[in-house]
Structures are given as C-alpha cells and as structure tokens.
Chains A and B, each alone.
Chain A
Amino acid sequence: MPVRIVFCEDEPIIRKLIGLSLRGTPHEFRMAAGGSEALDLVRRWRPDVLITDVAMPGMDGLQLAAAVRADGALRNLRIVFMTASVRREAAQAEEAGGRAAGHLRKPFGPAALRALLAALDERG
C-alpha cells in the first residue's frame, strides 16, 4: 500500500535527500518549505501522514501540529516529527501528548526513512 505523505522541511538539502530516498518507492509525497505552506497542503491534498521538522522559521513544527489537531477535518492525519538538536525534547513532550505517530531523529539516512514509512503503512 502506498502511503500519501506531506513533508515539511525548511532546509532545501534535506528536502532533496528525502526526494532521493523515496525514489523508486510506491509512496506518494509532496514537499512544503514551511509550517503554513504545509497546513495549506494537508488541507487541500489530504495525505495519510505529515512528517515535519520542528525548528523552522515562521510557523514551526509544534505550531503546525497544534493547528492540525485543532482542525476536525484532519483528525485522521498522523504526525511524525523530524528533530535535530535540543528541541527534540519539546517534540518528545508533544509525542507524549498523543497524536504523534512516530519520530525521526536527525541525522537519518534513506533506510531509516523507508523503514519508518513501512511501519506506518503496516499500521495503516
């Protein structure tokens, strides 16, 4: 089963890595470079999973997650945080609060990303 994913990541080089890592997989994905762009995208495109960076300029990952949670139409959207540096703790707190379906710790490689998606697919 392909998974439909929106990635939210402000670093272009990481977006490039994600794109290359998922090349040849059945998954469908789209990219957003910031929180508000991602929120628009998930509302329009209705993916299964939102995988978002935490520390970003403008609307950050935690604010994005809160906005998603506040939107009843998005209650089936699963959220995964990608975290670098010390903000990981904040994301873990968020995760503990429920709703976070997984956690991707930077640095990660293509194998880790594919494994995460496979796990999400199985849980479907």
Chain B
Amino acid sequence: MSPGRPRRRARPLRVADDRLRTVLDGVGDAILIRQLPEDVITFWNQGAAETYGWSASEVRGKVAHALLQTSFPVPVETIMCRLRQTGHWRGQLRQRRRGGMEAVVESRWTLLPGAVPEQLMEVDRDVTRPAAMEIALREVEQHLRSVFDHSPLGICTVALDGRVLTANPTLHRMLRMEAGGAQTHAFAGIVHVDDGAAVRAMFARTATGGAQPVAVEARLRRADGSVLWARLSASVVTDPSGGPRFHVAMVEDIDERRQVDAAMERVNARLEALNRDKGRLLSEVSHEFRTALTSIQGFSELLRDQDLGPQEVRELARDINGEALRLDRLIEDLLDLDRMESGAAPLHRQPVEVNPVVTALADRMRRTAPDHPVVLRLAEGLPAIQAEPDRLTQVFTNLLSNAVKYSPAGSPIEVSSELIGDRVRVTVRDGGPGIPADWLERVFDRYTRLERDSRVEGTGLGLPIVRQIVQMHGGSVSAENAAGGGALITVELPVSGGPEVPGDAGANRVL
C-alpha cells in the first residue's frame, strides 16, 4: 500500500489514477493523507467516508484534527518525533464521526518519503465496537470487584478439594488475618473442630444439590485463636456441562446475634421461672385463704343458724379466731420473706451467744407445749457470733415449733450446739417420722406446703424463712433423717458473721 518508492523525488502524491483510487477505495480501512504542517486533508478514500461519514469532496482541504477532533493517547509532539525518526507510528485514536459519535480506531501513520511539504498517510481500522465491549466488561468486573471488596458479608471461593481460592477483605477482617492470609488455608482450617462435620456436610450437599444455597451456623477459628459464630451459606459454580467447578461461600458474623440470643434465653428463662413462682404463690395463697375462709364461713354460719351450747359456741369462736390469726401469720411471713429476699430488711448484727437464746426458747417451749420434752446438749464456752438477735430467735423458734408439730407427744426433742472450726453448729432433732428422702432437698423451698402434710399447722414458710435468715448471716442449713429416727435440721453460722448475703434474693422473689 506504500504509495511511493523510497528516494523518489519529492512531490505530492497525486492520486489521480483511477485504478489506484479504485484499489484504495476497495480497502475496508479508512485511508486519508494529511499534508503538514497545516494538517490539511488531501486524500480520503471510500473507507474513510464510510468510517467518518463525510465524502471526499466534503473534507478535502479541511484541517484533519479539527474535523475529526482527534484525541491522542500521547502528546502529538511525541508521535511526530517518532514518525520523523522511524517513518511510522501506530496507536489507538479516538476521533469524531459526522454527527459527533466517537470512533475508536487502530491507526497506522506513515510519513510519505520525499514528499514536500510533508505528507503522512493515516490508515484507520474501526475498532469502536470491541472497545466498547471491553470497557463494559471492565466496568462489570470493577463493579463485581467492588461488591466483593466492600460486601458486609465475608465471601470466598473454595476449590472442590477444600482449598480457599479467594477471600474478600471482610472475611480477612472477620478472621483477623492479613490480606491474602485466608488463601493459604484449607477452609476446614478456619472452622472450629466441633463444627467441622457440619461444614463438610454443607459443602457436600452444595456440590451435589445444584444451585440452591445450603446454610449452616458454625463456629470459625480466628487467626488469634478466638472463636466467632458465623452463618455460612454455600453454593456451587458449575461449568457449561453442569459439573461443579468450585464453591462460593458467604460468611455472616452472627456472634452478636448469638450473644443476644443467649442473653434473651437467660432473661426468658428467668421470667418464666418468676412467672411460675408467681403462679405457685397465687395457687398456694388462694388455697390457704379458701381453707381458712371455709372454716370461718362455715363455723359462723353454724353459730348464726343453730342453737349451740355456750361451750360449743366458745370452741367455734376459738376456731374462727385461730384461722383468722393463721391467715395473718401467712401474710406476715410472706411479706417478711419478701423483705429479706429483696434486701429491704438488712441485718443489724451484734455479738450474740447462741446457747442463752436456745435455752430461753426451750424454757418457753416447755411451758407452751408441756407434752414435748426438750433435751439440750450445749457445748460450753462457745464464742459469740455476729448476728441480729431477733432474727436468730426467729430461726430457733421456727425450728423448735416445727419439731413440736412433727413429734408425737412424749417423744423428746433434742437441741445441741458445738463449735466446728470457726462456725457454731446447732442441730434440732425431732421425734417424728422423719422426712421422705425425696423431700430432703425441698423442705426449705417455698410453695411446697400444698404437697406436704397439712395436718401440721403453720404457714409452711417456717423453713424457707430459716434458710433465708441463715444465708443472710453467711451460714448454711440442711435437713437429714437422724440415724435413730426423726428429722434432723442442722444450722451452721460463722462466728465472724461473714459477708452479708441476700441468700436466694431474686431467685424466688415475686412480690
């Protein structure tokens, strides 16, 4: 296509020859000749007319770069410099077609040898469409890359043999790995050992189960050894024949959700327990009230409707009175227990000697329940303990009256005291039938009276109150059956008093 022979005398190329023109027009590429230095178009073939939209007659004599609004990939001086050194230049240009549409062309420039003034021939191959596609592809790729890089989810691709092929920055951050660190692992290497089987099963199902993603919640191991709860979902990428090529796994950090879930479960369990307790309390209290009210209503109806002797009137009045007092004690005990459990009744401690408290109560018991002999076995020289005297009295009153209730008349009640290390131990043993084995653990619980022997008078809160007071003093209480028969309750109280603890505060609290 070279329009002239080397060393030929310089003169403008005259393309007047019809045959040559026909040849050049038959070439699909655009061919134009620009005369320097004005860059005036002197030749314009049919290919140029088709590429740029103007006919030869329209463009002849026009300034080429002005007409085509050429934008060069490098400064035009650089192109001219190369052209003058080597006679050739090739590169990609962006020029305007008639109407303003852009044309991207692969352009080859040749300086026509010997031409004066200088002329260069430009052969342009239109590559506009492929370039646009390339840009579009590049844009899609950049788009996908930015999704990959900025996704709030960890994303990785995993080879069928389990190696991590690529992993995004989010996954690296989740796993506290340096960039690219995940690629050195088998995926199984970042899964907590206890969840390995579940994750393997997930990938296996993915590989055989088609495009449907499979999800599993599993623990991952971070680079620093800590553990992260994650929701993994995997799918498989297939080749055109449908065979699996690799896995794509999404990793969502659900540590926080897991923690919130666990906290919610704890709160729920707590609320359910409280609700159950409330229900039991309501059931217990209403049972006690209905029983007392039945006596009160029934006996007062008898008094009203029947002619009874003065002796009988007095007896029924005593029963009615007794039931009313029992309800009052029940309410008092419930409120007292609640005050202690909620911390509203703090202890006022002072040094108290246990033996005199027990002795005084035994003396009173002998007067009020003469049928029940009380035997004291008290160790001498016990140190005083740090306690609230009234609460201590309440503990032993409850234990002694309990013993009286469960002991048949005549059988002795034994109370002993001794020093065990830095604790004073007091035991109360009754002469009753003992406590069924499955009840030993529960006699100090509230709400158990319904299922206990209600032939015994009382509110059923005596032992729960004992435990509450003893625990507030830093001590302990337990129940067992004595070797020689009867129930044995053991109370241990630290001499120093120990830290004040609210016992089961909260655990049973409902009021």
Contact = CB atoms under 8 A, between A and B. Distances in A.
A42 to B, nearest CB: 21
Contact of A17 (B290, B299, B452, B455): B299
A108 interface: yes
A11 B298 contact: no
Contacts of B286: 84-86
B283 A86 contact: yes
A85 B305 contact: no
Contacts of B293: 106-107
Interface string B421-458: 00000000000000000000000000000111111000
Contacts of A36: none
A20 interface: yes
A106 B291 contact: yes
A106 B294 CA distance: 6
Contact of B287 (A57, A85, A108, A111): A85
B294 A21 contact: no
Contacts of A86: 282-283, 286
Interface in A92-124: 106-111
A109 B454 contact: no
A110 B316 CA distance: 14
B283 A21 contact: no
A55 B450 contact: yes
Given A16-B319, A17-B295, A107-B293, A10 B287 contact: no
Contacts of B178: none
Interface in B152-166: none
Interface residues of A, number: 23
Nearest to A17: B298
Given A85-B286, A85-B287, A85-B290, A110 B298 contact: yes
Contacts of B71: none
Contacts of B282: 86
Nearest to B319: A13
Contacts of A109: 297-298, 301-302
B248 interface: no
A110 B319 CA distance: 16
B283 A87 contact: yes
B323 interface: yes
A57 B453 contact: yes
Contact of B283 (A13, A33, A85): A85
A10 B319 contact: no
Contacts of B451: 57
B294 A107 contact: yes
Given A10-B454, A110-B301, A84 B319 contact: no
Interface string B298-336: 110110010000000000100100010000000000000
A106 B286 CA distance: 11
B296 interface: yes
Nearest to A108: B294
Contacts of A110: 298, 301-302, 305
Contacts of B302: 17, 20-21, 109-110
Interface in A1-60: 10-14, 16-17, 20-21, 33, 55-57
B294 A14 contact: yes
B324 to A, nearest CB: 12
Contacts of A85: 283, 286-287, 289-290
Given A13-B319, A55-B287, A57-B453, A84 B294 contact: yes
A72 to B, nearest CB: 30
B454 A108 contact: no
Contacts of B450: 55, 57
A57 B299 contact: no
Interface string B72-90: 0000000000000000000
Nearest to A83: B290
A120 B399 CA distance: 46
B455 A12 contact: yes
A85 B280 CA distance: 11
A22 to B, nearest CB: 11
**Interface centre among B290, B296, B323, by most A CB within 10 Å?**
B290
A11 B453 contact: no
Contact of A57 (B290, B291, B452): B452
A54 to B, nearest CB: 10
B511 to A, nearest CB: 18
Contact of A108 (B283, B298, B452): B298
B156 to A, nearest CB: 58
Contacts of A33: 455
Contacts of A12: 455
Nearest to B294: A107
Given A13-B319, A21-B302, A57-B451, A107 B297 contact: yes
**Interface centre among A17, A33, A111, by most B CB within 10 Å?**
A17
A21 to B, nearest CB: 7
A40 B57 CA distance: 129
Listed from nearest, the 3 A-B pairs whose CB atoms lie closest are A84-B290, A109-B301, A85-B286
7 contacts: A11-B454, A14-B291, A55-B287, A56-B454, A85-B287, A106-B291, A107-B298
Interface of B: 282-283, 286-287, 289-291, 293-299, 301-302, 305, 316, 319, 323, 450-455
Interface of A: 10-14, 16-17, 20-21, 33, 55-57, 84-87, 106-111
Given A12-B455, A16-B319, A84-B294, 7 more contacts: A11-B291, A13-B319, A17-B302, A85-B287, A85-B289, A106-B290, A111-B301
